[in-house]
Amino acid sequence: MNLKDTAKTVAVKTALSYLDKDPETNLPKLMEWFDKFDTKGTLRKEREAIRSVIGDKDKNWYKLILSLWKDIDPGVRNRLLENFIINGSLLGYQKQKANKEKYNCNIPWAILMNPTSACNLKCTGCWAAEYGNHMNLTYEEMDDIVNQGTELGTYVYLFTGGEPLVRKKDIIRLCEEHPDCVFSIFTNGTLIDEAFADEILRVQNFIPAISIEGFEEATDGRRGQGTYQKIMRAMNILKEKRLPFGISCCYTSVNAEVIGSEEYFDQMVDMGAKFAWFFTYMPVGKGAVKELMATAEQREMMYHKIREYRRTKPLFTVDFWNDGEYVGGCIAGGRSYLHINANGDIEPCAFIHYSDSNIREKTLLEAYRSPLFMGYHDNQPWSSNMLRPCPVLDNPGRLTEIVEKSGAKSTDYQNLESAKEFSDKCVDTAEKWAPVADKLWKKSHPESFNEAGEIISMCSGNCAGCGKSRRDA
């Protein structure tokens, strides 16, 4: 760390200490001070967004920010904020940017990995339910992934599975060994108990995201009888311990109306959740229940509902499909994140089970520069309409092209499924969503359309060996 970076680190820690004394009074003052340190404008948009929020004490975002001081243990809060702001944003971003330019490839902000394929539940529509306890990353392998990642500028690490809390001790050990990183899990919540909550309180750099499908009937219907009550118990434990947590929601054709309801959002806020990740169901694997895919009408409903609640509810909410317009489309393939499964296969996305690299054979950097990941790097965004960000669900065939060209293989643990087979399952859904997405995009981004009503291409069409524009009809 150079002298300039050291000064920034000290400044952020000083600022948080200043804020601790009287957050309501000092927050506006702090923003003026913070402006002086973001000399390159790295966080200009974020600063502007925060400033617009703290100017109105009646706004939901203002209430959410203050709740971090009212509801969260100060040691946990400050460690997480320091790691997010200093390492994940200020220092990490500069390292990522430098390495992207140096190696001409994507460097992710976050890495998602599966410690194990094992799970204590068997949820309908989940590919992991069929895998069993066949595959695991060793602690040493996960530790090496974090070491390699931080060298390149990645300080945020997420865990999924299987059920990652089957590996509680190893996850806590990683938190201990890497206090400068932020760790989080996508968990069914059933294995969170008092003892584990105390461990989270001790390490201070860990945040759970609990998977929940709606209310009791919907959750138990997909995850098994009694799961909902176990989740409620886990949330109560975390809230009582003053630990931050969020929820992870997969909306399907069955539950979209429930988890898109105001009643559901209000309950999650009341339970103490500070953030919510929303995903749409993907028909991954040959045994996938295609009928669970959300309809175009349901996806549009979620588009409107999440934006409404984002303006009115004290809950930081992200929809990983419908929020493509805010992040420039698809974030996978290392552009912002990637996935490493329990077998060590390095995949572009948690829903894209194809790989040409394994952590046991290649370094992370070698994987980022592999044909598959460079296919993502060279072709993102997949559409000029950022409400159609996915190379499978929204643009069937695009994934097939780069998988076949790269020679990537299926990493499905049970039944190998070609990229074409996977993409073909999404054709009907994509065709029905396209006109809806274009309607929404035209309303919010009229400048993206020409006089004929066509979306203006984001590709010049001058690539060697291509000669055609990526115009979207």
Domain match, 67 and 110 both = no
Torsion angle defined by CA atoms of residues 320, 324, 328 and 332, in that order, rounded to the nearest 10 degrees: 30
User: Which domain range does residue 414 map to?
Assistant: 105-447
Name which of 258, 231, 275 is nearest 80 in CA terms: 275
Cα 87 to chain center, whole Å? 18
What does the pLDDT profile of the chain (473 residues) look like in tens digits? 565 666 666 767 776 776 787 777 777 666 776 676 667 776 677 677 777 767 677 889 889 989 999 999 999 999 999 999 888 888 899 999 999 999 999 999 999 999 998 876 666 655 555 555 678 999 999 999 999 999 999 999 999 988 999 999 999 999 999 999 999 999 999 999 999 999 999 999 999 999 987 787 767 776 778 888 999 999 999 999 999 999 999 999 999 999 999 999 999 999 999 999 999 999 998 888 899 999 999 999 999 999 999 999 999 999 999 999 899 999 999 999 999 999 999 999 999 999 999 999 999 999 999 999 999 999 999 999 999 999 999 999 999 999 999 999 999 877 889 999 999 999 999 999 999 999 999 998 888 777 667 777 654 333 333 333 333 33
Tell me: do 59 and 203 sit in the same domain.
no
In contact, 19 and 30? CB cutoff 8 Å: yes
75 and 119 both lie in a single domain: no
Helices (H) and strands (E) in the chain, counts: 20, 11
Q: Which of 82, 97, 123 is the last residue of a domain?
A: 82
71 and 114 part of one domain: no
Examine residue 460 and state whether it is found in any structural domain, yes or no.
no
469, part of any domain: no
Any domain includes 45 = yes
- Looking at the structure, do residues 74 and 115 belong to the same domain, yes or no? no
- Kindly state whether residue 88 falls inside one of the protein's structural domains: no
Q: 467 lies in a domain? A: no
What total of structural domains would you count in the chain? Answer: 2
CATH number at residue 339: 3.20.20.70
Pair (256, 181) in one structural domain:
yes
Instruction: Evaluate whether residue 454 is within a structural domain.
Output: no
Provide the token pair at 381: 């965004």
Peptide bond into 162 cis (omega under 30): yes
| Closest to 114 (Cα-Cα) out of 334, 345, 283, 281 | 345
In a domain, 359, yes or no: yes
Per the CB < 8 A criterion, the answer to whether 283 and 247 are in contact is: no
Same domain, 433 and 332: yes
Judgement on whether residues 25 and 170 belong to the same structural domain of the protein = no
Torsion of CA 318, 324, 326, 328, to 10 degrees: 140
Contact 319, 309 (CB under 8 A): no
Are 149 and 52 in the same domain? no
Asked, for residue 134, whether it belongs to a domain, the answer is yes
CB-facing half-sphere around the CA of 451: CA atoms within 13 A: 0
In this structure, the answer to whether residues 69 and 177 fall within a common structural domain is: no
Q: What region, left, alpha or beta, does residue 204 occupy, with left being phi > 0 and alpha being psi -120 to 50 degrees?
A: left
32 and 114 inside one domain? no
One domain for residues 74 and 146:
no
